[in-house]
Chains A and B, each alone.
Chain A
Amino acid sequence: MREFLLAPLPTGKTPCREAAIVALDLETTGLDARHDRILSIATVPVRDMAVVLAEAWQASLNIDGDLPEKTVVIHGITDDQAAGGRSLAEILPQLLQRLCGKVLLVHNAALDRAFLDRACRQLYNVPCLLPVIDTQALARRQHRRRDLPIKSGDLRLYSLRERYGLPRYGAHRALNDALATAELFLAMAAEMSPTGNCRLRDVMTRWY
């Protein structure tokens, strides 16, 4: 954890191509970080504005107690699979190692950050601070800039992907969603700066 907190962070001038970015997605039992649990975590790095699938990573967590039926329906993760996973204490250091010194890339960051933050506080009693690129926030910003009305559902990961002509993936698998977010980010960054010289400050939504 110490290592994680001490790692130097990129500055706003850093070109996107040179930034070390990690796309992340969590699947959880619900939307409330205080009561719900993390079921699985997946990350995939983005380097030089390319998604490196070789380093894609994913882990299932074992949780005590029955899974709410709704969660099973959404994620397709059954009790048996969850029971086969490992504990949060085992997984979190591995995750932090992957996020160390990186810019986090998440769709709808608030939710995932809340879960991560709670996990860090539980285990290490410190907050989880990370610079964040949130593709949903980016999309909202773009909609506003162009004065486009935002209808419900417009800012969902898979609606946005469709708008950018990206292929359909089966949703609600942590690694699929992390990859889907990474690809969406590449598409949005390419749109914002067609010349390819995007800088972190153009896309960043949060610095810690």
Chain B
Amino acid sequence: MDIELIEIREFLARHPPFDVLPAQVLDQLPRNLIVRYLRRGSAFPPEVADVSLYIVRSGAVEFRDGAGNLCEKLGEGDFFAGDCHLPDLPADWHGVASEDALLYLLACDRLQQLRDAHADFSRHFSRSLNERLRHAVSTIRRTYMQDVSVLGIRVMDLVKRPPVTIDAGCSIRDAARAMTEHKISSIMLLTDGRLTGILTDSTLRKRCIVDGVPADAPVADIVKHKVTTIAHDASVFEALMTMTQLQVYHLPVMDGERLVGIVTSSDLSRLQSTNTAFIASDIRKAQTVADLAMSSRTLPELQLQLSNASATAFHIGDALSSLTDAITGKLLHLAEAELGPPPVPYVWVVGGSQARQEQTSLSDQDNALILADTAQPDHDSYFAALAAKVSDGLNACGFSYCPGDAMATNPQWRQPLRKWRDYFATWIDRPEPKALMLACIFFDLRAVHGDATLLAELQREVLKKTRNNTVFIAYMAANALSHRPPLGFFRNFVLIQDGRHNDTIDIKHRGIIPIIDLARVFALSAGLPAVRTVERLRTAAASGALSREMSENLLDAFEYIATVRIQHQARQIRAGRAIDNFVSPAELSELERAHIKDAFSVIKDMQATLDNRYQLGRFR
């Protein structure tokens, strides 16, 4: 090995895509390079005979479009492949060395040889950024699947013994005896070999001891016959969510029609990597707001654990939203217990990230009350009190009051269904800036407690109005373009449109919200009921409102950026700091930066398409 060019070898080894080349190839690579120096202000690429890949060793190169806007800036370790007929930058962009630059040149034919021999390396130059992004996302998903973490485990892996069953015709005493014998807290009942019920310790306690049902009675008399089961190949995560949502502790495990075992909430709790089950069960058991606040304090820790277990942003959003729903539901139960039953049916709805199930721990609360149209003015005192209790409770649990007052405590957002219809009609017919701001909250609604049909009815009518409503959609689209992604990274800075640098990137407003906004535009214009961004993008593609390719690209971009955000917050939680959305480029690896930049490009493309489709220039 020629160690004497080791400086150049080490430099290449530090920077993608060269970092993936095998050591012996890297050893030889410096000998394939030519070194050039460009004085500040010189045109880039320089006019030289050989066509090459350019690698910036030091200094900087800028690209501007025909109108002189800065579009791209290359710094140490960045490369330019435009001369090798690889799709890189638009033809009308011109480059200039913005600082004295030392460049390594690799002849295009040698680059091609390397690409032919090394698929991993080649992928970095792959035709489309879509392919690159897809690969990045599948890599994070694979890590998640392979991780020997709680979330990767299948339900079947937790089943330790064959199911203990008893004929449904037996007496309660026989069933209790069998449970004692096997030292188990539940037993499954079979009728003609089919699962027809489940008897648990708590049922025994309640029905026999409290209610006084005699032990000789048939066991079938005291069990619930509607049994929730789970498939043997479901993930532990699904089991956890089922238990949390349905408030059950025991889930029989089925392989098709066949009963193969049981998982209990304590099986799940024993898994060390998470305490979602603990939190969920604490929430169930809570008697006071203070109890709930104790549980919710563990949510940042849970987010960290899930993130450590390589869960993607989607799974974490699911888990946190489910638990927040559970807390909200419990607060409503507690409030109803205190205030008495509601005078008319109502539904408690949540907006924003909780509605989209994209929540990170402790976001602000956005909520509203939709009352049945039978509500009378004097019923409002009941609902005002209900809203105050729940909203204060949420605040005590760390979900701060909404700064924009989009809460059920605000009389404006505590109204009968007919009033809500009027609101939406006004927003859709007269899309003023204030209306558009509210739209971002109230076009993403989900029922958490109460009569969900009230919301379903409202949503159906709203979507009928927005569908193919070009004027309204154009306003929404213009609003969706108000958050633009940055150009990329330059050194340890975030490069933004006007050529200035930021120290950090607000990954929520510049990466996540733009995609959420785009997805909302497509859903409303196609009249789709989905609220989750992922579902909106999928159904938009299915309905033809969005091309399948663009939908997949946006999904990949969304998953990638959201996961980067989760990892950023995990680092903050680990360091004991408050979480935020400001990611410093220094936190990211070179590869992560490259992928995020690809994700930004997807957003920019889609924004440009929208801009074009609705002629949004006239709104600015």
Contact = CB atoms under 8 A, between A and B. Distances in A.
Interface string A181-208: 0110011001100100000000000000
Contact of B4 (A173, A191, A194): A173
Contacts of A173: 4
A54 interface: yes
Of residues A49, A51, A170, which shows the largest number of chain B Cβ atoms within 10 Å of its Cβ?
A51
Interface stretch (B27-35, B199-207, B319-327, B479-487): B27-35
A74 interface: no
A160 to B, nearest CB: 13
B280 interface: no
Contacts of B42: 190, 194
Contacts of A42: 4
Interface stretch (A1-9, A126-134, A161-169): A161-169
Given A50-B105, A51-B34, A166-B102, A194 B58 contact: no
Contact of B33 (A49, A53, A191): A53
Contact of B35 (A58, A170, A186, A194): A186
A50 B99 contact: no
A190 B38 contact: yes
Nearest to B39: A190
A48 interface: yes
A53 B58 contact: no
A187 B100 contact: yes
Query: Which one of B6, B37, B42, B57 has the greatest number of beta carbons of chain A within 10 Å?
Result: B37
- On chain A, which size bracket covers the interface? 20 to 34
Given A50-B34, A53-B34, A165 B5 contact: no
| Chain A facing B: main interface SS | mixed
A164 B4 contact: no
B31 A183 contact: no
B498 interface: no
B216 interface: no
Given A58-B4, A169-B7, A53 B31 contact: yes
Nearest to B4: A175
Contacts of B36: 49-51, 186
A56 interface: yes
B170 to A, nearest CB: 82
A52 interface: yes
Contact of A167 (B30, B41, B58): B58
A49 B33 CA distance: 14
A175 to B, nearest CB: 4
B48 interface: yes
A183 B102 contact: yes
B431 interface: no
A50 B11 CA distance: 19
A52 B106 CA distance: 11
The residue in B4, B5, B38 that gathers the most chain A C-beta atoms within 10 A of its C-beta is B4
Contacts of A165: 58-59, 99-100
A176 interface: yes
A56 B6 CA distance: 13
B248 interface: no
A183 B37 contact: yes
Contacts of A49: 36-37
A51 B31 contact: no
B159 interface: no
B37 A170 contact: no
B8 interface: yes
A179 B105 CA distance: 15
B7 A183 contact: no
Contacts of A51: 34-36
Nearest to A46: B35
A174 B8 CA distance: 15
Interface string B1-21: 000111110010000000000
B32 A53 contact: yes
B35 A182 contact: yes
A166 B57 CA distance: 9
A54 B28 CA distance: 10
A173 B467 CA distance: 71
Contacts of A166: 58, 102
A54 B32 contact: yes
A183 B35 contact: yes
A187 B37 contact: yes
A183 B368 CA distance: 67
Nearest to A164: B100
7 contacts: A50-B105, A51-B35, A54-B31, A56-B31, A173-B4, A179-B5, A190-B38
Given A53-B8, A56-B31, A190-B37, 14 more contacts: A50-B35, A51-B34, A53-B32, A53-B33, A58-B4, A164-B100, A165-B58, A165-B59, A166-B102, A167-B57, A167-B58, A170-B6, A183-B35, A186-B35
10 nearest A-B residue pairs (beta carbon): A51-B35, A186-B37, A175-B4, A190-B39, A169-B7, A50-B34, A167-B58, A50-B36, A53-B33, A54-B31
